Structure 1
């Protein structure tokens, strides 16, 4: 047995120690050992240290307590004998108002089990108490959020740099096109239920809007209103009795670097690629955002339920808030960042800049290429992990109210305070910026 496998087994022993061992738990543990060994090898090829690669591998496990608890109770469930227990006939009521069996109720409001909503057809969601919540783009189980893969049968679009973005999808039965002259006004695109794609068109001073529908009816087409301050493009009529598949492609000129754009999406997906704008704002009520190569002076993204994923961001100032979902950024250069998630994790790789990052009930993971300002990090009930630049000197102030603080620097490090849960000092000889991290209940690691 290698030393790495020994460390993996030791960590798993701690996780499994809360549960009564049985055959199912033992088999599951062996599967995890193999998976974690493979993940460690993958991370070791890119990470700087053994501990960092091992932490990354275990971070992929997420919260497995629910699985372990179920497996630990399997033997008890299988061995129980209920033959002698009296059987009670469930209460049954069938009427025009609905169907009721015991605590199960099926009526016009949806499907409920006791007081918990199981299926709510009006709002297209599945919910079980505060533990399970499923909607269009993902599922929240406890404090974990899982994004669904795109479904090719529902409002999906495919972006390919080699393809014309405004080309008609094969399923389209109707196409509506509008061209709007650029100006210094705010352009607001408000779509209730659609997939919206932003891209760069080949025009000089025109914004192009191409709408595709699988049903042909002019009342579905967008409405365009203009006043002294803004241009509003809002989605047309949306039938309540049946679903209309809708794809919106919106193109901006390459030289629109002063453009002021706001996208509002109530239920759907938003993607954006190769944009250069002055201001790029997003409001997503129930959906997801995926972006690539976006440059703007300022950005304000607000997502109420869904995931944010982006690669290649260049912003002077950006505020990204996700209420229920994860934020994952790659290759982000943000001089002044304010990024937070209420119920989900925040992960930023290859980050250049500074600012504030917080996660209320999810992990916070940053890999920093260069600091250009102070960095302030906060997590409520999870871990903070930071890979600091090896060639840049920095101050640090790291504290955990309930957990360990670790900093992996063997040389050229100076401590003003060094305890298990609080470390303050500086790395190098001429630090300019400070990494300030605090967690209420969890650990902090700086690599």
Structure 2
């Protein structure tokens, strides 16, 4: 079995961590039990480009239980947990191509390695896998899924230009994904990553959140909970208004740059923080990103402004500007929640990866009937996952009576 990992001797530690995540993913456990009986993915080759974490490992085991032939590469050079990669390869027999800190060349070599299997389905996180497929114009899969906001944006652009070569389900758009994973998962894990990297006190700081989508909402909420003065940067008037109503200051980045202590980008766009902003930042300002790609911070621009750089802590790079001020970049501008911490907690990834597993099953059954478009997760799948999650938490809810259903379906009844 081919694989490319950092150190096979890490497998024992990785296996223990995978078991811990598995114990905290009850929905995916239920799906895996059914998959093991029914084998809905029997004979299906699935190429996965995802963050190689403990939670992803549980998803891989679920797909394998369903009969899939799975191969896995990293969707970000700094997100791989090397012990998990080792365990998947050595303990569970899954071809893994991922090493934390891999360079650009090796990153794409690993993508090519999973594509060499000529997959029937793809499972992507950021659409790099899909992008390579479309550029190389070789084997075309029957269908796929996409995990992230960034990836879905790229895929919808391809669909609009009629360049998308096969149907893909936007897992990110499921309510049991973006309302929970993006808000509660990114919110908690991003703050966790910042604190692990810096050991800084968040309370009392001016914490600047660039972007008030679901990830930005989560990060702002958690920073506020730790006592930060949260400032939100937005270009969308609706989201900006929501941030104001949620109790946050809203202002342009040019103003916030002068007063911020910690800056976080979660926009999915390029060069949100630029040289003109670095030039007015405080001494020892901290800059980081939790969007999928490290393009949100103009790192080349920061390098040009600095006269010296050095690593002061793991994942903390100090840039000394010409006037002596210091700016600290965390995790090379990559997802700080995965670069310096462990990513989303298993309890929230339970829902996200349940969507992935069930969407893969749906795509296997229906791909030949679907057009070359981006599809939402079927509502019945999304709803079923919510019900299973509530059940696993011991939470019960009411059901509408027949009288209530009739009232909601009619127009005659009023006051």
User: Which TM-score band applies after superposition, normalised by the shorter structure?
Assistant: under 0.3
Q: Which has the higher strand share?
A: 1
What's the TM-score, normalizing by structure 2? 0.24
Rg larger in 1 or in 2?
1
More helix by share: 2
1 or 2 for the larger relative contact order (CA 8 Å, sep ≥6)?
A: 2
